[in-house]
Amino acid sequence: DVKVTQSSRYLVKRTGEKVFLECVQDMDHENMFWYRQDPGLGLRLIYFSYDVKMKEKGDIPEGYSVSREKKERFSLILESASTNQTSMYLCASSLGPGQGWDGYTFGSGTRLTVV
Amino acid sequence: AQSVTQPDIHITVSEGASLELRCNYSYGATPYLFWYVQSPGQGLQLLLKYFSGDTLVQGIKGFEAEFKRSQSSFNLRKPSVHWSDAAEYFCAVGARTGGFKTIFGAGTRLFVKA
């Protein structure tokens, strides 16, 4: 089974801190995604990546950046954390269009609280 | 643009009763459609998917869903609910272009009473 591992289950950070959320997948997936999940809003796409060093903005990229230096790792960066970024963050990966895409595999999530 | 609507924020059913969770989507072409389930504190797990072909699709844990193009719907069903089915359920639509980006509904939380 594909595994998507998020490095932290719970994080508490202070306003203004730079925060790194790490995600690693172990099945050579081309695509990786970062979503945030908030009650009543479902999942909203922050950024995604088709390949190494490649990134695309999702629907809510403001205040975030990403890094994909290796195929298996996709990092989400909060440049200066704010309280409105308190949320559950979910990483997902998937095969690419040429690999036989059939949906996402999700990590267990990181619950970030910014105080 | 893609969009997904799950009209029910939460639903309560008795154990052993049947279940139907509603999902309506908007997409300009034939979409990829998914249902995911999320247990408390966990990530999402794929229940089933529709890409093409037979409009009634079977998934894991005894769930099924029916794609109805005329109604732009993809409702999830289960004939007999178990207490362990209590979770949040997300309908999603994936584009066939643009990196297969997936849009999720707001979710329906299922409560199961004994």
Contacts of A44 in chain B (CB under 8 A): 104
Residue of A102, A105, A108, A110 to mutate, testing the B interface (most B Cβ within 10 Å of its Cβ): A102
Structure tokens, B29: 């072409």
Q: What is the pLDDT of residues B42-78, one digit of tens each?
A: 889 999 999 888 899 999 999 999 999 999 999 999 9
Q: How many Å apart are CA A95 and CA B105, to the nearest integer?
A: 22
- Do residue A104 and residue B46 have CB atoms under 8 angstroms apart? yes
- Do residue B34 and residue A103 have CB atoms under 8 angstroms apart? yes
Q: What is the pLDDT of residues A45-80, one digit of tens each?
A: 999 998 898 899 999 999 999 999 999 999 999 999
Structure tokens, A26: 């172990």
Parallel, antiparallel, or unpaired: how do β-strands A110-114 and A10-13 relate? parallel
Task: Please list, in sequence order, all residues whose beta carbon lies within 8 angstroms of the beta carbon of residue B113, skipping any fewer than 6 positions away.
Answer: B12, B13, B14, B15
φ, ψ of residue A78 in degrees (nearest 5): -100, 110
Residue A50 touches chain B, beta carbons under 8 Å:
yes
